[in-house]
Amino acid sequence: DGGITQSPKYLFRKEGQNVTLSCEQNLNHDAMYWYRQDPGQGLRLIYYSQIVNDFQKGDIAEGYSVSREKKESFPLTVTSAQKNPTAFYLCASSMLLSGRGRAGELFFGEGSRLTVL
């Protein structure tokens, strides 16, 4: 089945450690995204990528890094510089928009829950 796979589902990190969240898609989508969700809040964009080897900062990129070496993969690294990393992280992908009639929605993975001890 086509879809988006995030791993791990749950992750615990000690203060000062970097951790990497994996996101893989087999939908042949060009664009991929990382969102952060805090309890009772909406989704905030961390980074997104429209093409391999290129990505843009979202609204809360500080303390995070990404890479896009393959179309299918968009890993997110939460660095020790991220002051409050405990959150739920969602990866998504979509087709690039070109002309009217394209649906434009994002498809989401099941998320990764990161807890800092």
Partner 1 sequence: AQTVTQSQPEMSVQEAETVTLSCTYDTSESDYYLFWYKQPPSRQMILVIRQEAYKQQNATENRFSVNFQKAAKSFSLKISDSQLGDAAMYFCAYRSATGASGSRLTFGEGTQLTVNP
Site for partner 1 in 20-59 (CB under 8 A): 31, 33, 35, 40-45, 48, 50, 56, 58
The long-range contacts involving 49-52, CB below 8 angstroms and separated by at least 24 positions, are 49/74, 50/96
Q: Does 97 bind partner 1 (CB under 8 A)?
A: yes
Residue 79: HSE in the Cβ half-sphere, 13 Å Cα cutoff: 8
Minimum CB separation from partner 1 for residue 110, in Å? 6
Tokens of residue 36, six digits: 């952060």
In the bound state with partner 1, the residue whose beta carbon lies nearer, of 17 and 41, is 41
**Among the listed residues 111, 57, 55, 62, the one whose alpha carbon sits nearest the alpha carbon of residue 87:** 111
In the bound state with partner 1, the residue whose beta carbon lies nearer, of 10 and 18, is 10
Q: Does 63 bind partner 1 (CB under 8 A)?
A: no
